């Protein structure tokens, strides 16, 4: 049986703003628990309001490692006003722009996980360019354009340790999902074609791969 989060952690996950279904969340949690055995940090690209961060943070706490989450907190393309995934509650009333950082902090506080997460606030390529620490897990769940998904992969996959896990969310092979999932799908195909990764599991739109060789 794969590891599952405690009821209170699962409840915190379900209560948080976000888009990840429970079955994908459970698969991500199982991957994070496995990756935690390397004794290396677990990193997520695309925090939003901390829904999936809750699961990574709990797995990190159990393993005695740190969960890292990267986001500029201004929202990705599909979360902007006028788009399907926009939530008016995430807009800063003074500035008139999205700011999901306060909601994210409340999510962690309510879950009792603040001490187990480091929030890296900024743009993923800028942070990746100065990053030097090996990682046990990289979870790509940021922007859904080719530019952003590719930059997340190229920026963070090189830091994944041998045997570490690469998780990619919103992998949709159907061309009708061009805006929401074709870019992550192309990153997933690239990772497999590189020879550096082997698929471990597929749960709806979540793919988990293991680093089994060098390169990206």
Q: Which residues are catalytic?
A: 144
Residue 66 contacts residue 118 (beta carbons within 8 Å): yes
Residues 6+ apart with CB under 8 A from 102: none
Q: How far apart are CA 150 and CA 148, in angstroms?
A: 5
Q: How far apart are CA 172 and CA 155, in angstroms?
A: 22
- Rg (C-alpha) for the chain, rounded Å, is 16
CB neighbours of residue 88 within 10 Å: 8
């Amino acid at each position: 049986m794969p590891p599952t989060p405690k009821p209170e952690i699962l409840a915190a996950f379900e209560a948080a703003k976000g888009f990840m279904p429970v079955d994908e969340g459970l698969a991500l949690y199982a991957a994070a628990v496995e990756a935690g055995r390397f004794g290396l940090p677990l990193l997520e690209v695309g925090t939003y309001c901390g829904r999936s961060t809750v699961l990574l943070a709990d797995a990190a706490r159990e393993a005695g490692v740190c969960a890292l989450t990267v986001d500029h907190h201004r929202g990705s393309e599909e979360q902007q006003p006028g788009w399907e995934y926009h939530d008016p509650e995430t807009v800063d009333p003074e500035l008139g722009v999205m700011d999901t950082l306060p909601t994210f902090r409340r999510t962690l506080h309510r879950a009792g996980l603040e001490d187990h997460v480091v929030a890296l606030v900024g743009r993923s390529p800028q942070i990746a360019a100065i990053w030097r620490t090996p990682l046990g897990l990289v979870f790509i769940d940021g922007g859904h354009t080719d530019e952003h998904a590719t930059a997340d992969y190229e920026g963070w996959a090189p830091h994944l340790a041998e045997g570490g896990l690469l998780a990619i969310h919103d992998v949709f092979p159907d061309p009708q999902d061009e805006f929401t999932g074709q870019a992550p799908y192309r990153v997933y195909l690239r990772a497999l074609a590189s020879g550096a990764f082997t698929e471990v599991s597929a749960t709806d739109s979540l793919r988990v791969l293991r680093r089994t060789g060098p390169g990206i």
